[in-house]
Every structure is written in C-alpha cells, then in structure tokens.
C-alpha cells in the first residue's frame, strides 16, 4: 500500500519513527521559511511541517501544490504539543499522486454555505466533507446492525430481480424499459418476489432492496430511486409477529448507531434517542380521531403527509405503529380482517413520517385473485406470482422500511437527498 499509517493510527509509538501518510492536501500555509500543510485521509487530518532550509526541493514541491491534490508523504513523525493531534510529520519524500485543478468547484474545509444543487453537482467533492461522510458512515452502521439483528432471528439475505413484468405497488408509477423489444419495468419493490420466496421453505428472508418509483412527487421526503430494508416471514400468527421484527430492527440499529457512531452523530449535532420496546400501537381509527380534532377527514383514505404530521405531534413516543387500516387504503396483497373491512396492515412512523409499512398477506390464491379483480388489476400480469400460491403457501407477512426515510428522520435531516449518495429525482439523473 502507498501508506504505512492512516492519520488516526499515528500514536505515541510512531513518534520518533518514519511514517508514510497519504491523502488530500486540504490546506497550505506558506510562511516563507516554513510551511504547514494539512493532509486529510478517511480517518482525520495530520500536519506536515516543512522547513525550507532543511529540505528546499520538498518545500517547493509541497507549497506549489494546489489544494485537494493527492500525495504520499514520508518522513519522521515528531511530538509537537502545539499541533492539534500532538504530532507532526517532517516530509522527506513526497510523491504527488494526483494534481487537483484550480479553482475547486466547491470548498471542502470552508465553512461557507454552498447551495444544495452545487453540492449534488459536485457530490464527489461534497462527500469529502466530514458531516456529509458522517451520514454514510451512520448509514453503514444502520444496515450492518439491521442485517446482524435479522441474521440473529434466522433471516436469510436474498437478492431479487430488479427488472420485471408486473408492478406490485400500482400501475402508473413505474419506469418502463425496453427489454429486447418487450415492455418491462424496474421494480417498485421486491414485494412479489419476497412473497414468492415464502412458498420455498426459506421461511424468513430480507433484502437491502432498490425501489424504482416514477412518482411525480417533488418533496423533501421522496426519491425516484431509493433503498429499503425488505423483510418477509412465513408461519406468522398475525401482523403482530411482523411488527415485533420491525420494531426490533429499528431498536437494534439505533442502539448500534448510538454506540458506534458517537463522533459522526456529534458532527451532525444529533442526540440519538433509543426508544423503549415495544413501540406504542394506535389503530387507524384512533389516528383518524386525532386528525379530526384539527381538520375534516374522510374515513377510509390513507393518511397523507399533513395528517401523519398531526398524529406525530400528538404521540409522545418518537416511534409508533398505526395498525388496522381500511382495506381500500392498503395494496391488493394485504390480508383482510375477519369482517373484510379492514386490512391486517400497519405503518411504522417516526415523529409524523412513515418510515415503514407492512402487513400480513393474503396466502389463499383465490382470495388474492379476487382482490386483484376488485381493484381492476390485470390478473394475467400476476400469473407467475399467483402460481406460487397454488402448491402450498404458508401464512406470511412482512414489511418494507425506506433506508433514506429512516435515516432522514433519525438524524433530523431536512432533505431525504442527504441520505443517498447520488439522488435521483424528477430533475436529477446525473451525476
């Protein structure tokens, strides 16, 4: 490797020895006879102190660099109390690995506010900033902790197709693609596939899934390409079994985020609340009563953004479930309750924003087909899916939880685009 140490790995032991650091030159202060440079790698920043008369060539080469150029620098590391991390490196050999153009499209270390579009246009630079990287380090911990929790509960990680012929979550909001002359779609969610897997005996599966949705929403909480944690489990008694897994995932990941990402959370000024289990549950009917205290609302509709916020303000706990939705507010695959009026579906919300939704599913193929027809959906498009229900399909259920949506709420970020590397929305398809 080009480096012997990351900045954060330089400790007492290294002081007095030679090290090679490699990274970006964030700042250059040339005082004439002496220059101080700040070298940044993924673990932090270290000072390079260059004295002209001791190493004139190296002094020239380093002070002549443009900011954000990439170098490998070798030299003795010495203790220096006046430097922030207590040591400095005196460069004796320098390899310039890449020279940055000037001026930079945006600053990395500067505290000046850059508008969000400029940041996204230059995401490779934006991501050099600590607070921006922090989100993705926390995201990594969230997914790893969720995966570890689910593995502990006997779930198998799977990967289902993203190109498909049928669209599970409604017909209009799909991206159509040309599949060798045939119409195909990008999946809106792994819904149909994760359910088909329940007919295999794998019993408990999860996927870190891509959702592609051609929704024309232009909001701070919608993306046209997003990721989700999708879970499906068989042999359940009711949707309560699914909710127990959903709250377990959220709880375990928040605990891991708080324990392992204190530094990143501090950069974002976030004090993470790890809520108590179980999360409170309120029925849809109760949520409608709460909404009706503030505005007219017709029973039977799904709760919109405004209504979700109203409920969120009235709930004491940050995370809570809304259960027992009217059948018409849930997708065709949701299991109807005994009287056929309500669905065994639920949403999980965080302070007034839906972060997950799930249900016990219909596992009787005749009922499933009836529901598709009732909703005027083309049964032929679901032939493969329906077939998997005809040869032994256990009762099952699951949920899908938007990863960006969850992070946005947990980290109090104002825009969901902060939580995905290269956001896709109506206006943005590059970079």
Active centre residues (catalytic): 213, 215, 221-222, 354, 357, 405
Planar angle of CA 345, 351, 354, nearest 5 degrees:
35
Neighbours of 427 (CB within 10 A): 8
213 binds ligand AMO (CB under 6 A): yes
Q: Which member of 187, 249, 356, 411 binds ligand AMO (CB under 6 A)?
A: 356
Query: What binding mask, one character per residue, do residues 225-254 give for ligand AMO by CB under 6 A, x or -?
Result: -x-x-x------------------------
Alpha carbon distance 231, 249 (integer Å): 10
Q: Choose, by CB under 6 A, the member of 5, 45, 396, 405 that binds ligand AMO.
A: 405
CB atoms within 10 A of CB 66: 13
Cα R_g (the chain), whole angstroms? 27
Is 312 one of the binding residues for ligand AMO (CB under 6 A)? no
Q: Coil, helix or strand for 416? A: helix
Under rule CB under 6 A, residue 355 binds ligand AMO: yes
- Which of 21, 398, 407, 410 binds ligand AMO (CB under 6 A)? It is 398
Task: Rule CB under 6 A: choose which of 191, 253, 323, 388 binds ligand AMO.
Answer: 191
On whether the CB atoms of residues 302 and 334 are closer than 8 A, the answer is no
**Binding of ligand AMO by 360 (CB under 6 A):** no
Report residue 21: phi and psi, to 5°: -105, 155
Contact 336, 343 (CB under 8 A): yes
Q: How far apart are CA 373 and CA 355, in angstroms?
A: 29
Q: How far is the CB of 169 from ligand AMO (least distance, A)?
A: 5
Q: Are 160 and 207 in contact (CB under 8 A)?
A: yes
Taking a C-beta distance cutoff of 8 angstroms, is the pair 403, 230 a contact? no
Any idea what the Cα angle at residue 36 is, between residues 33 and 37, rounded to 5°? Answer: 135
Residue 222 as a binder of ligand AMO (CB under 6 A): the answer is: yes
Nearest to 231 by CA among 150, 167, 160: 150
Binding span for ligand AMO by CB under 6 A among 48-56, 210-218, 271-279, 284-292: 210-218
- Whichever of 99 and 415 has its CB closer to ligand AMO, that residue is 415
75 contacts ligand AMO (rule: CB under 6 A): no
CA gap 94, 75 in Å, rounded: 9
Measured between alpha carbons, how far is residue 296 from residues 289, 309, 328 in Å?
10, 15, 19
Q: Which is nearer to ligand AMO, 138 or 228 (CB)?
A: 228
Shortest spacing between CB 382 and ligand AMO, in angstroms: 14
Q: How far is the CB of 47 from ligand AMO (least distance, A)?
A: 42
Cα separation of 76 and 74, whole Å? 7
128 binds ligand AMO (CB under 6 A): no
Least distance between ligand AMO and beta carbon 125 (Å) = 25
Among 354, 409, 418, 425, binds ligand AMO (CB under 6 A): 354
Residues in contact with ligand AMO, total (CB under 6 A)? 24
Residue 189 in the binding site for ligand AMO (CB under 6 A): yes
What is the rounded CA–CA span in Å between residue 88 and residue 327? 66
Does residue 195 belong to the site contacting ligand AMO (CB under 6 A)?
A: no
Smallest distance, Å, CB 229 to ligand AMO?
A: 9
Token output for 338: 């005994």
Q: Which of 71, 290, 359, 411 binds ligand AMO (CB under 6 A)?
A: 359
400 scored as a contact of ligand AMO (CB under 6 A) = yes
The reply on whether position 169 binds ligand AMO by CB under 6 A is yes
Instruction: Find the part of the chain contacting ligand AMO (CB under 6 A) among 41-49, 178-186, 254-262, 402-410.
Output: 402-410
CB of 123 to ligand AMO, least distance (A): 18
Q: Is 376 left (phi over 0), alpha (psi -120 to 50) or beta?
A: left
Q: Is 417 in the site for ligand AMO (CB under 6 A)?
A: no
* Residues 195, 196, 202: CA angle, nearest 5 degrees: 90
Shortest Cβ 427–ligand AMO spacing (Å): 15
Q: Based on CB atoms, which residue is closest to ligand AMO, 215 or 241?
A: 215
Angle (CA) 315-278-289 rounded to 5° is 30
> Is there binding between residue 399 and ligand AMO (CB under 6 A)?
yes
The answer to whether residue 223 forms part of the interface with ligand AMO (CB under 6 A) is yes
Phi and psi for 64 in degrees, rounded to 5?
-85, -5
Q: Cα–Cα distances in Å, from 416 out to 127, 153, 222, 353? A: 16, 29, 7, 12
Residue 233 beta carbon to ligand AMO: minimum distance, rounded to whole angstroms:
11
Question: Which residues 6+ apart lie within 8 Å of 10 measured at CB?
Answer: 19, 21, 46, 77, 85, 87
CB of 291 to ligand AMO, least distance (A): 19
Q: Which residues bind ligand AMO (CB under 6 A)?
A: 169, 189, 191, 211, 213, 215, 222-223, 226, 228, 230, 354-359, 398-402, 404-405
């Amino acid at each position: 490797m080009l480096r012997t140490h990351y900045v954060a790995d330089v400790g007492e032991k290294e002081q007095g020895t030679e090290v090679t650091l490699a990274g970006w030159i964030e700042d250059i202060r040339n005082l004439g006879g002496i220059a101080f440079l700040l070298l940044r790698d993924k673990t932090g920043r270290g000072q390079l102190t260059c004295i002209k008369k001791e190493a004139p060539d190296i002094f020239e080469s380093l002070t002549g660099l443009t900011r954000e150029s990439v170098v490998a620098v070798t030299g003795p590391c010495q203790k220096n109390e006046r430097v922030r991390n207590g040591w400095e490196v005196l460069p004796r050999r320098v390899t310039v690995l890449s020279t940055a153009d000037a001026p930079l499209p945006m600053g990395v270390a500067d505290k000046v506010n850059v508008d969000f579009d400029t940041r996204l246009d230059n995401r490779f630079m934006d991501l050099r900033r600590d607070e921006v990287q922090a989100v993705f380090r926390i995201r990594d911990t969230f997914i790893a902790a969720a995966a570890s929790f689910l593995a502990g509960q006997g779930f198998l990680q799977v990967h289902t197709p993203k190109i498909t012929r049928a669209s599970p979550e409604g017909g209009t909001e799909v991206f159509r693609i040309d599949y060798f002359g045939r119409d195909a779609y990008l999946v809106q969610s792994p819904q149909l596939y994760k359910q088909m897997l329940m007919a295999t005996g794998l019993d408990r599966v999860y996927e870190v899934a891509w959702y592609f949705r051609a929704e024309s929403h232009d909001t701070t909480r919608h993306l046209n390409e997003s990721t989700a944690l999708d879970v499906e489990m068989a042999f359940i008694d009711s949707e309560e079994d699914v909710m127990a897994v959903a709250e377990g995932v959220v709880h375990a990941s928040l605990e891991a985020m708080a324990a392992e990402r204190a530094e990143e959370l501090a950069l974002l000024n976030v004090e993470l609340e790890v809520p108590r289990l179980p999360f409170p549950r309120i029925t849809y009917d109760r949520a409608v009563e709460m909404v009706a205290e503030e505005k007219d609302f017709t029973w039977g509709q799904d709760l919109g953004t405004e209504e979700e916020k109203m409920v969120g303000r009235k709930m004491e706990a940050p995370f809570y479930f809304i259960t027992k939705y009217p059948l018409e507010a849930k997708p065709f695959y949701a299991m109807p309750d005994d009287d056929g009026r309500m669905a065994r579906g639920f949403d999980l919300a965080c302070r007034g924003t839906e972060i997950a939704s799930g249900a016990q599913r219909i596992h009787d193929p005749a009922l499933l087909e009836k529901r598709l027809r009732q909703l005027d959906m083309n049964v032929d498009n679901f032939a493969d899916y329906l077939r998997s229900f005809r040869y032994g399909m256990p009762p099952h259920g699951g949920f899908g939880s938007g990863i960006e949506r969850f992070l946005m709420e947990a980290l109090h970020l104002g825009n969901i685009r902060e939580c995905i590397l290269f956001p896709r929305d109506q206006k943005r398809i590059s970079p």
